[in-house]
């Protein structure tokens, strides 16, 4: 999907955190990924027209990992606004959500984009992490994190 010039690309990512083991789910971007080959990243992707951003987060988590979550289990924990790139001429805005609740068993459902999926202890994350992922993982489990309210959907 291309974004018209001047328009900001909206992206949603999800931190799946298992509180019992204090582990986070990450994907390593594979050789056919559009960017960041070999770097670890959160499940996520581009917003599709007509869907609330929580649906984007749910859809991408399911498409990439097989995990299913409900919108009410997603908590907004980080917002990243980046300048224009060749694929996002108006820049991009990434909303990162945290969830502790899901169903299903995590597995790599998009081997054309990712070559590995694994759970990592929150305080022993793999390298290299995409810079945007590293920034999103700094504050996510803080109890004062804001919540997202959807109005008008």
Kindly report, residue by residue over 77-113, the tens digit of the pLDDT: 888 888 887 778 888 889 999 999 999 999 999 999 9
In whole angstroms, give the CA distance from residue 66 to residue 68.
Answer: 6
Long-range CB pairs of 124-128, under 8 A, 24+ apart, other chains included = 125/24, 125/26, 125/40, 126/26, 126/28, 126/40, 127/40, 128/38, 128/39, 128/40
- Cβ pair 66, 109 in contact under 8 A: yes
pLDDT over 80 (residue 149): no
* Residue 67 in tokens: 């995990």
In whole angstroms, give the CA distance from residue 143 to residue 51.
Answer: 28
pTM listed for this prediction: 0.90
Compare 124 and 79 and report the one with higher pLDDT.
Answer: 124
- Cβ pair 138, 129 in contact under 8 A: no
Residue with tokens 């108006």: 90
pLDDT band at 142 (very low <50, low <70, confident <90, very high): low
Spacing of C-alpha 83 from chain mean position = 18
CA dihedral 146, 40, 117, 12 (to 10 degrees): 40
Mean pLDDT of 26-37: 93
């Amino acid at each position: 999907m291309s974004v018209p010039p001047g328009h900001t690309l909206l992206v949603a990512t999800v931190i799946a955190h298992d509180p019992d083991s204090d582990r986070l789910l990450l994907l390593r971007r594979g050789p056919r990924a559009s960017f960041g080959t070999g770097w670890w990243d959160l499940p996520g992707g581009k917003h599709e027209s007509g869907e609330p951003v929580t649906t984007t987060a749910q859809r991408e988590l399911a498409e990439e990992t097989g995990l299913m979550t409900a919108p009410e289990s997603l908590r907004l924990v980080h917002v990243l606004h980046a300048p224009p790139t060749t694929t996002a001429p108006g820049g991009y805005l990434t909303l990162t959500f945290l969830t502790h609740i899901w169903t299903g068993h995590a597995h790599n459902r998009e081997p054309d984009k990712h070559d590995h999926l694994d759970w990592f202890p929150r305080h022993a994350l793999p390298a290299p992490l995409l810079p945007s992922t590293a920034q999103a993982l700094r504050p996510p489990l803080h109890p004062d994190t804001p919540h997202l309210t959807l109005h008008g959907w």
